[in-house]
Amino acid sequence: MYFEQPKELTGKLFEIKRFSIHDGPGIRTTVFLKGCPLSCKWCHNPEGISAKPEIAFLEKMCTGCGACVNACPNHAQQIAREGMRLFDRQRCTVCGKCADACYPQALLLYGMDSTVDQVMEEILPDADFYENSGGGVTLSGGEPLLQADFCAELLKRCKEAGISTAIDTSGYVPWDTFQKVLDDTDLFLYDLKQMDSEMHVKYTGVPNQQILDNLKQLGLHDKPVEIRIPVIPGINSSYENICRTAEFLRDIPGIIGIKLLRYHSMARSKFAAVGRMDTMPQVESPTEEEMAGISEWFGQYGLSALF
């Protein structure tokens, strides 16, 4: 009788960033996983929205060498007579051959299938840095919990190696998904974007009730949570929204801090790189004074909000 061997568990990643200092305490390696149930207008990682592999074209990096033209089996990569570089996404099958041939890395494949062992090979060499800085490994995205089984196994392996763990999440997944990773996650970095559900739908594509309910559940499980709030002028920076947020958070145990993330439009070029329509708000970044004012509003509720 023939028995089929079980397939090795893999995750679909779009980046592994070493020596990160913005995704939790200390020096960290951040593992970015593909796919997100939200479509935030201000998304800073649009290459992580789709769960499918994508080819990104970074036009400024292109030298016009033509190596991608020769490598592409579907003639999706072309150079016009005028020397203009053309990328026909309709012909592209995302085989990645153009990215492999692109020496200046103007073409990148986002969405590599990686095993837990392969990711651990990237993580383990920096174990001393994690230990000496109080850092560790953070799973981010996209929404990493869309690939919960892979995350659970990777977190387990990190803990077995003595490495601290964190998950950066939108919270928009079923609660039983959180249960798969609770035991091996030391810290949750939890996004809160807007308290009004209709506004939340308008700017992220989904309602916020599940996000709020899951945060309450995390509080009941005595898990450390850092709240992360992107501050976008005119969208969620109002006194009313900040007060509603503070009123909600002050009754939830386990919250160790609130981090205010200043909106910027530097990710605008990423939308073009992966062939997405740019949806980022046409607003200026909040000023130092505006960020300080929001921090003070949280302070009125006995909460510390840093930026």
pLDDT of amino acid 229 = 98
pLDDT of amino acid 7 = 74
Question: For residue range 115-137, what is the model confidence (pLDDT) as tens digits?
Answer: 999 999 999 999 999 999 999 99
Q: What is the mean pLDDT of each run of 10 residues along the chain (307 residues)?
A: 68 96 96 97 96 94 92 92 84 95 95 96 96 97 97 98 98 98 98 97 97 96 95 97 97 95 94 94 96 97 95
pLDDT of amino acid 222 = 85
Collect all residues with Cβ–Cβ distance below 8 Å to 223 and sequence separation of at least 6: 182, 185, 187, 188, 254
pLDDT of amino acid 2 = 54
pLDDT of amino acid 3 = 54
- Domains (ranges, CATH) in the chain? 10-52+112-306 (3.20.20.70), 54-109 (3.30.70.20)
Please give the torsion angle defined by the CA atoms of residues 67, 60, 22 and 113, in that order, rounded to the nearest 10 degrees.
-30
Name the residue among 118, 130, 190, 182 with its Cα closest to residue 152: 182
pTM, two decimal places:
0.92
pLDDT of amino acid 6 = 59
- For β-strands 187-191 and 225-231, DSSP reports them as parallel
Question: For residue range 230-261, what is the model confidence (pLDDT) as tens digits?
Answer: 999 999 999 999 999 999 999 999 999 999 99
**Phi, psi values for residue 150, rounded to 5°:** -65, -45
pLDDT of amino acid 4 = 59
CA atoms of 265 and 42, how far apart (whole Å): 8
Measured at the CA of 244, the angle between CA 41 and CA 141, to 5 degrees, comes to 35
Name the residue among 110, 150, 121, 137 with its Cα closest to residue 8: 150
